[in-house]
Amino acid sequence: MLSFDLKFARGDFALEAAADVGDGVTGIYGPSGSGKSTLLALLAGLLAPSRGRVQLGGRVLVDTGARAFVPAWDRHVGLVFQDGQLFPHLTTRQNLLYGHTRIPGSMRRFDLSGVAELLEITPLLDRRPTLLSGGERQRVALGRALLYSPQLLLLDEPLSSLDDRLKRQILPFLKRIKDETRLPMLYVTHAHSELDYLADRVLDMERGRLQQAVTG
């Protein structure tokens, strides 16, 4: 279970978001500029809230009242951006293992061969990102996030930079991740079709506010 109650302000923008979210895929839907990506950044630890609390399972990640803040590197949260953000000087294999090798063996939930098979990227392991298609790069980015063995997977419009053909290729892989890993996932998008295919529940966001709090 992920539980959060957050307030954040920067310039003229203010965000207030609270929800209790269970396993499965929770969609966060709303127009550009509504605060969807800001919310993910707060949950990932890339931003600090003005006030609030975040708890993932039995672990408190943020509690401003108690001056508690777990840094991003210690949250074990996987984050996938719309452009993948792979390291261009590393091979696919090295990109995939970047976070995996930095966590203790006892925390590793997935292995390279299993993730590569799940995402059908085994033939790509020795290639560099410049030799991959857009869809292949996104699959590698997903694999890298999984191999970090996250307790929560955050996806920030992961298909928005792809054309319709590539989206149709990637969506089944996302569903396989959902079905086979059972990871809780927050999926940010402004595309109804992606949520219809993947989401178990949806939080609507507009002007920095969640329009409904969903417990699932």
pLDDT bucket at 214, cuts 50 / 70 / 90:
very low
Amino acid residing at 31: P
Percentage of the residues of the chain whose pLDDT score is greater than 70:
97
Angstrom CA distances, 62 to 68, 73, 203, 208, stand at 5, 14, 21, 19
Judged against a pLDDT cut of 80, whether residue 216 lies above it is answered with no
Helices (DSSP H) in 74-201: which residue ranges?
A: 92-96, 112-118, 134-147, 164-181, 192-198
Q: State whether the Cα torsion 182-188-193-194 is positive or negative.
A: negative
Burial 29-57 (b: 16+ CB within 10 A, else e): bbeeebbbbbbbbbbbbbbebeebbbbbe
- For residue 79, the domain's CATH number is 3.40.50.300
Quote the CA–CA distance of 44 and 124 in Å, as a whole number: 29
pTM assigned to the model: 0.85
The answer to whether residue 56 sits within a structural domain is: yes
- 16-67 pLDDT, tens digit per residue, is 999 998 889 999 999 889 999 999 999 999 999 999 999 999 999 999 999 9
The answer to whether residue 215 sits within a structural domain is: no
| Total domain count, the chain | 1
The answer to whether residue 179 sits within a structural domain is: yes
- Residue 89: phi, psi to the nearest 5? -85, -5
Q: State whether the Cα torsion 95-99-100-101 is positive or negative.
A: positive
Q: What range defines the domain where residue 115 resides?
A: 2-210
* Predicted pLDDT of residue 213: 45
Percentage of the residues of the chain whose pLDDT score is greater than 90:
56
The answer to whether residue 172 sits within a structural domain is: yes
Task: Compute the average pLDDT of residues 125-135.
Answer: 93
